Structure 1
Amino acid sequence: MSAEQRLKELGLELPDPPAPLANYVPWRIGGGLLFLSGVGPHRPDGTSITGMLGGDLAVEQGVEAARLCGMNLLGNMRKALGSLDRVDTVLKVLGMVRAVPEFGHQPEVINGCTDLFVAVFGDAGRPARSAVGMGSLPRGIAVEIEAVVLLKP
């Protein structure tokens, strides 16, 4: 089943990509790869999940934030490629979690994104991955995630 068909089967509607907030582009394509700039947990209504994991946010809220990042990355993939069916493999994901110093559940939080990718792309959505803690992220967002995707020839 194609990725676009899986989206429909899962009942997911991808958001329109937000405009960049600074001097960068949301993606670049080169050498058969799609490089996706980091995205935050922005909801379609324009609000975002903000806060600090292990402080005012629980792990479950972080997972929701990472899933929103994943939805925004999928929206950027579709905008860049015209169809998610052009994705061969999600190669790499870097997940950044705004957290108190003693928080150690970054991997569980970033699963919110990578579980979504696996649901949409199957095993081709299971990336090499880093999940790291940050003292701050832009505008107080709880999670930011970027990705590198291999394109079908």
Structure 2
Amino acid sequence: MSAEQKLKELGLALPQVASPMANYVRFKRVGDVVYLSGQGPRLPDGTMATGKVGGDVTTAQAYEHAKLVGLGLLAAMKEAAGSLDKVEVIKLLGMVNGVPEFGEQPQVINGCSDLLVAVLGENGRHARSAVGMGSLPGNITVEIEVIIKVLP
């Protein structure tokens, strides 16, 4: 089953690829490796999910925010590779805007990781870091960047 079919089966659709908010590009390709710029959680109305995880945002809510980021990253991967069936996820860096005592960063970033594996299968499995941050741009809850390999 193709990645596009898996998305439909999950009842999900890729969003429009987000435009950079500053002086950078959505992705940079070097040979068969693509570095995708970090993205935040864009809600269906176009606004960004904001707040401190462990404070005014729960781990479960932030998991869903990370899943939204995953959809945006999948859209960027498709643009970079031409097809999601030609993508292998290599490395993911997940950053969580949490209160100082928050320690459930891995559970939050699982929202993105779980989605990538659900859509891409074994090609979605990746090395990963999940870290806490004192703040993120625009007070977004989560930012995630990914490195992928484009398959022949």
Normalised by the length of structure 2, the TM-score is: 0.96
Displacement of 1:11 after TM fit? Answer: 2.0
Q: Paired residue for 2:133? A: 134
Aligned partners of 2:74 and 2:99: how far apart in 1? 28
Aligned partners of 2:131 and 2:123: how far apart in 1? 23
Displacement of 1:114 after TM fit? Answer: 0.3
Deviates more, 1:63-72 or 1:39-48: 39-48
Alignment partner of 1:56 is 2:61:
no
Where do residues 96-135 of structure 1 align in structure 2 (5 Å cutoff)?
96-135=95-134
**Following TM superposition, where does structure 1 have runs of at least 4 consecutive aligned residues deviating by more than 3 angstroms?**
none
Displacement of 1:101 after TM fit? Answer: 1.1
Q: Paired residue for 1:90? A: 89
Q: Paired residue for 1:27? A: 27
Task: String of CA shifts for 1:34-68, please: whole Å, max 9, x gaps.
Answer: 11000000123211110001111110111011001
Aligned partners of 2:44 and 2:61: how far apart in 1? 17
Matched positions, count? 152
Normalised by the length of structure 1, the TM-score is: 0.95
Aligned partners of 2:114 and 2:37: how far apart in 1? 19
RMSD across aligned C-alpha pairs, in angstroms? 1.0
Provide structure 2 residue ranges, at least 5 long, that are not aligned to the other structure.
none
Provide structure 1 residue ranges, at least 5 long, that are not aligned to the other structure.
none
